[in-house]
Amino acid sequence: MELDKTTAVVTGGGTGIGRAVALALARAGAAGIAVNYASSRADAEETVAELRSLGCDAFAVRADVADAARVRSMAERVLSAFGEVHLLINNAGTTRRVPHADLDGLTDEIWHEVMDVNVLGALHCAQSFAPSLRETGGAVVNISSISGYRAGGSSIVYGVSKAAMLQLTRNLAVALAPEVRVNAVAPGTVATRWQTGLHGEAGFEAMARKERERVPLDRTSGPEHVAQAVIGLLGMDMVTGEALIVDGGKHVTY
């Protein structure tokens, strides 16, 4: 798939991985990018300004992806602006830090909050943009996590939600075929504000330093490395229903 002159929607596109993906798309020639956000308006607008500096027609659009009605409204606005959508990057996500042994701390409220954003959010976006994606022969990339494969991560529900996203990827690959390809990227530890928010800057650096001892490539991934994987999958015309792990090879040493 050639990315030149395509239009894209990147959910959670104002910061971290989403921002890196949006910038990579613009550098690859995307003509228009809608940067979705739920609460970080200033970050989204800053990303939009960067995209415009690269010659890309971009705008920020607010929508909580867990809310199907708001996603439909977002889709209407995006399609009104661009006319069609070729690419959907389901990156919006959330978590709550709950120790795995603290089963009582994993309340129904937390469970539904994380699952609604991470799984239903991706489904809502796929549902709303599917007609246009089919018309354009487009592609979807879901941002999952290594936590979808292993019993780790910030909480049990986060891992379950990311495993569900991997299965959603496989099912959407069948449901939207043959016109639309659907793949996923599963990052390991990535140096983002998300991580420093969970662990603190010193805590994250200590964790990353210890982890690098077990990572074959001896580096901590940055958002740009995840973006490389997204761009790669978008260009693979005969690949669908697959997930690409981006963790410097750590998963092969577990």
Say what the pLDDT of residue 190 is: 86
- pTM, entire model: 0.94
In a domain, 203, yes or no: yes
Q: Confidence class of residue 11 from pLDDT cuts 50, 70 and 90?
A: very high
In a domain, 2, yes or no: no
- In DSSP notation, 62-78 reads E--TT-HHHHHHHHHHH
Say what the pLDDT of residue 211 is: 82
List C-alpha distances in Å: 202 to 130, 191, 250: 43, 12, 22
The single residue of 37, 149, 158, 254 carrying the catalytic annotation is: 158
Please name the residues in contact with 45: beta carbons below 8 A apart, sequence gap of 6 or more.
14, 60
Say what the pLDDT of residue 220 is: 87
Displacement of CA 42 from its chain's centroid (Å): 19
pLDDT tens digits along 145-185: 999 999 988 899 999 999 999 999 999 999 999 999 999 99
Say what the pLDDT of residue 140 is: 98
Cα–Cα distance between 232 and 142 in angstroms, integer?
13
pLDDT tens digits along 23-59: 999 999 999 999 999 998 999 999 999 999 999 999 9
In a domain, 1, yes or no: no
Handedness of CA 157, 224, 72, 69 (dihedral sign): positive
Q: Which of 194, 193, 175, 173 is nearest to 238 (CA)?
A: 173
Please name the residues in contact with 101: beta carbons below 8 A apart, sequence gap of 6 or more.
none
Match 């662990």 to its residue by tokens.
Answer: 199
Q: Residue 208: which H helix or E strand, with range?
A: helix 201-212
Say what the pLDDT of residue 169 is: 98
In a domain, 241, yes or no: yes
Strand, helix or coil for residue 211: helix
Catalytic site includes residue 37: no
Question: How confident is the model over 230-240, as a mean pLDDT?
Answer: 98
- Expressed as residue numbers, the domain containing 178 is 7-253
Report how many domains make up the chain. Answer: 1
Say what the pLDDT of residue 199 is: 63
Q: Residue 231: which H helix or E strand, with range?
A: helix 223-234
Say what the pLDDT of residue 194 is: 63
Q: What is the CATH number of the domain that holds 233?
A: 3.40.50.720
Q: Is the pLDDT of residue 206 over 70?
A: yes
pLDDT tens digits along 69-122: 999 999 999 999 999 999 999 999 999 989 999 999 999 999 999 999 999 999
Token representation of residue 98: 């709950």
Cα torsion at 115, 117, 122, 123 (round to 10°)?
Answer: 60
Q: Is the pLDDT of residue 192 over 90?
A: no
Question: How confident is the model over 119-137, as a mean pLDDT?
Answer: 98
User: What's the chain's length in residues?
Assistant: 254
Phi, psi angle pair for 28, to nearest 5° = -85, 0
Angle in degrees, CA 37, 57, 59, rounded to 5: 25
CB 246 within 8 A of CB 187: yes
In a domain, 212, yes or no: yes
In a domain, 25, yes or no: yes
In a domain, 51, yes or no: yes
- Name beta bridge partners: 39: none
Please name the residues in contact with 214: beta carbons below 8 A apart, sequence gap of 6 or more.
250, 253
In a domain, 90, yes or no: yes
Token representation of residue 87: 């690419």
Between strands 139-143 and 87-90, the pairing is parallel
Which of these ranges, 72-81, 184-193, 239-248, has the smallest mean pLDDT? 184-193
